[in-house]
Amino acid sequence: MVYYRHCRFAGKVQKILDEETAMGHKLKSAVMGDLATRYDMMFEDSEIKYTYVHECCRTGGKLTKIVNEYENRGYKLVFHTMGDLATRHELFFEKEVK
């Protein structure tokens, strides 16, 4: 089954990710809508438990640093979208919980 969630503020994204993963759902899609003022996320049922982290930054140098930092901690980048009329990188990292 697929579940749709949306929000307008970056601060609420992590809360939604935590709520959905607590119910056993996996992030299937993450995009920006309404001229980058809304986050649209799709989830699906999953037998495997995951944890997610949402990060955002404005520069390419910081983007590389964030991606490397999370990869070193065992996360993988699953979605990279652009927000605020392509001036902000929105990053979604996933890690399987064992």
Q: Where are the domains of the chain?
A: 2-96
pLDDT at site 35: 66
Task: Determine whether 50 is exposed, middle or buried from the number of CB atoms within 10 Å of its CB (0-12, 13-18, 19+).
Answer: middle
pLDDT at site 12: 95
**pLDDT < 70: residue spans in the chain:** 34-36
The partner residues of 26 in beta bridges, in order of sequence, read 44
Given a contact cutoff of 8 angstroms between Cβ atoms, the answer to whether 43 and 30 are in contact is: no
pLDDT at site 36: 62
pLDDT at site 59: 87
Instruction: Give me the chain's average pLDDT, please.
Output: 92
